[in-house]
Amino acid sequence: MRFHFDAKKSEQLRANPKRGIGFEEARELFAQPYFLDQRSDVPEQYRAIGWVQGQLYSVIFEVKSRFCCNLIFG
């Protein structure tokens, strides 16, 4: 699956002590998600919860096509 995200926002997330990771690292979560559910219908958003670098994280994302998703926040 390909991921699209704002590189500048990714850097801001990585620099934020409450977040600690950017979108690049968050992609690791999709390798083996612990939990996955639909968050909202409009827009169609999903939540994935899983392990990244030994810590539990949640990510909200939108699936734009079968092969691509947009990461929204980490």
> 34 lies in which domain range?
2-73
pLDDT at 11: 92
pLDDT at 15: 93
pLDDT at 9: 87
Q: Give the residues of the chain that fall short of pLDDT 50.
A: 74
Residues 6+ apart with CB under 8 A from 54: none
Task: Let me know: does 67 contact 1? Beta carbons within 8 Å.
Answer: yes
Domain count for the chain, please give it: 1
Nearest to 70 by CA among 7, 24, 1, 5: 5
pTM greater than 0.85 (yes/no): no
d(C-alpha 20, C-alpha 13), whole Å: 7
Residues 6+ apart with CB under 8 A from 7: none
Instruction: Check which CATH number belongs to the domain holding 17 and give it.
Output: 3.10.450
